[in-house]
């Protein structure tokens, strides 16, 4: 029905390109001839990663915590993008090493919460399990709890992360799920030197060796991280609902891949916001047969790519719903005699 309407709008068929597909995909996911981008909800899961002690991030570990304060002040990129678009944003601490002294609660541009599971044990994925089984379960549940806490089902959910060291965890999980060598996945993250990228590759290689032959479900716990697992849990919470999930960049796509391995039906609800500058992202997009909407060389995380792509969903829905049809406007739709 949505596609039939597209064909009747006052424009040459297909001339709105991927905006037409986007409206049709949203309509399919939402089971409605009139796709919507609102209500939208955004969430960012934040966690630290003991693996940072191997020098695999360009930033010191305490930046994760500082960034929570920056969200509280409304000055983080995602806080600006969400506020500007009036998209409610929650930032959920699922494992920042040291809790904030103050700052949890409601702020102008977001709400910051610490999940009780943030205090559960976590390990250095290079040489021990990143999450013991109870921590993994609790992280997945923290994601689901966020989804369950919403008053109404969002038309679009935006799910992101923040955590120094989490491209290493995501690279390890992605390499395992895709059966790739670390070199094919690992990139500069927030801005590593070539030496540090090499070091990150070695860390990922050790992690992969440690869990050789284990299942994809297990891999998320053993070499992933709490932010990744919470994203996976949040995505799975929407499975089978009429909610579209707008996936951010490399790390969110790794969580999406892990979620699809658990529940392949979820794939049909995923829209991919952008192609990250992180090299592993392209491999995941290929695996999921996904074409992202934007390619702006972004590599920040924080759901910033998804929040930047969100206006395209809104405009695609507006065009779908508000353009007139050939019949309504009496514009001739026949091909010209000679063409």
Q: Which of residues 269-288 bind a second copy (CB under 8 A)?
A: 277
Around Cβ 108, how many Cβ atoms within 10 Å? 9
The candidate with the shortest Cα–Cα distance to 261, out of 299, 224, 306, is 224
End-to-end CA distance of the chain: 28
Which one of the listed residues 21, 239, 302, 314 is annotated catalytic? 302
**Residue 323 interacts with a second copy (CB under 8 A): yes or no:** yes
| Number of chain positions touching a second copy (CB under 8 A) | 73
**Residue 203 interacts with a second copy (CB under 8 A): yes or no:** no
Per CB under 8 A, the segment of 24-32, 111-119, 214-222, 316-324 that binds a second copy is 316-324
Would you say 143 or 292 has its CB closer to a second copy?
Answer: 292
Smallest distance, Å, CB 67 to a second copy?
A: 6
Per CB under 8 A, the segment of 153-161, 208-216, 219-227, 315-323 that binds a second copy is 315-323
Lay out the site mask for a second copy across 85-104 (x = CB under 8 A, - = otherwise). --------------------
Per CB under 8 A, the segment of 116-124, 152-160, 280-288, 312-320 that binds a second copy is 312-320
Smallest distance, Å, CB 164 to a second copy?
A: 8
Smallest distance, Å, CB 136 to a second copy?
A: 27
**Residue 312 interacts with a second copy (CB under 8 A): yes or no:** yes
Smallest distance, Å, CB 12 to a second copy?
A: 4
**Residue 81 interacts with a second copy (CB under 8 A): yes or no:** yes
Would you say 205 or 262 has its CB closer to a second copy?
Answer: 205
**Residue 266 interacts with a second copy (CB under 8 A): yes or no:** no
Residues 6+ apart with CB under 8 A from 31: 242
**Active-site residue 278, yes or no?**
no
The candidate with the shortest Cα–Cα distance to 253, out of 222, 219, 292, is 292
Where in 173-202 is the site for a second copy (CB under 8 A)? 190-193, 196
Where in 26-65 is the site for a second copy (CB under 8 A)? 52, 54-63
The candidate with the shortest Cα–Cα distance to 72, out of 93, 55, 47, 97, is 93
- Find the binder of a second copy among 27, 37, 40, 67 (CB under 8 A): 67
Where in 103-162 is the site for a second copy (CB under 8 A)? none
The set of catalytic residues is 302
């Amino acid at each position: 029905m949505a596609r039939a309407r597209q064909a009747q709008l006052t424009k040459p068929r297909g001339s709105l390109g991927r905006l037409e597909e986007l409206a049709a995909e949203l309509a399919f996911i939402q089971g409605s001839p009139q796709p919507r981008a609102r209500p939208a909800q955004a969430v960012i899961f934040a966690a630290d990663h003991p693996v940072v002690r191997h020098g695999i991030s360009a930033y010191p570990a305490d930046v994760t915590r500082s960034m929570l304060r920056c969200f509280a002040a409304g000055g983080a990129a995602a806080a600006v993008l969400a506020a500007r678009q009036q998209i409610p944003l929650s930032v959920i601490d699922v494992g920042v090493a040291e809790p904030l002294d103050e700052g949890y609660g409601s702020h102008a541009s977001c709400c910051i919460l610490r999940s009780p599971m943030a205090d559960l044990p976590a390990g250095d994925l290079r040489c021990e399990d990143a999450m013991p089984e109870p921590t993994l379960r609790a992280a997945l549940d923290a994601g689901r709890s966020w989804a369950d806490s919403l008053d109404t089902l969002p038309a679009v959910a935006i799910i992101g992360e923040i955590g120094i060291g989490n491209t290493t965890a995501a690279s390890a999980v992605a390499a395992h799920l895709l059966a790739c060598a670390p070199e094919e996945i690992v990139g500069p993250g927030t801005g590593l030197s070539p030496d540090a990228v090499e070091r990150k590759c070695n860390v990922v290689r050790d992690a992969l060796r440690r869990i050789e032959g284990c299942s994809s479900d297990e891999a998320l716990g053993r070499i992933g991280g709490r932010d990744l697992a919470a994203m996976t849990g949040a995505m799975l919470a929407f499975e089978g609902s009429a909610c579209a999930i707008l996936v951010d960049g490399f790390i969110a796509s790794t969580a999406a891949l892990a979620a699809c391995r658990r529940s392949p039906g979820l794939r049909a609800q995923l829209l991919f916001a952008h192609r990250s500058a992180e090299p592993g992202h392209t491999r995941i997009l290929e695996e999921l047969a996904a074409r992202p909407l934007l390619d702006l060389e972004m590599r920040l995380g924080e759901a910033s790519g998804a929040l930047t792509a969100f206006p395209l969903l809104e405009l695609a829905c507006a065009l779908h719903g508000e353009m007139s049809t050939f019949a309504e406007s009496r514009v001739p739709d026949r091909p010209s005699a000679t063409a």
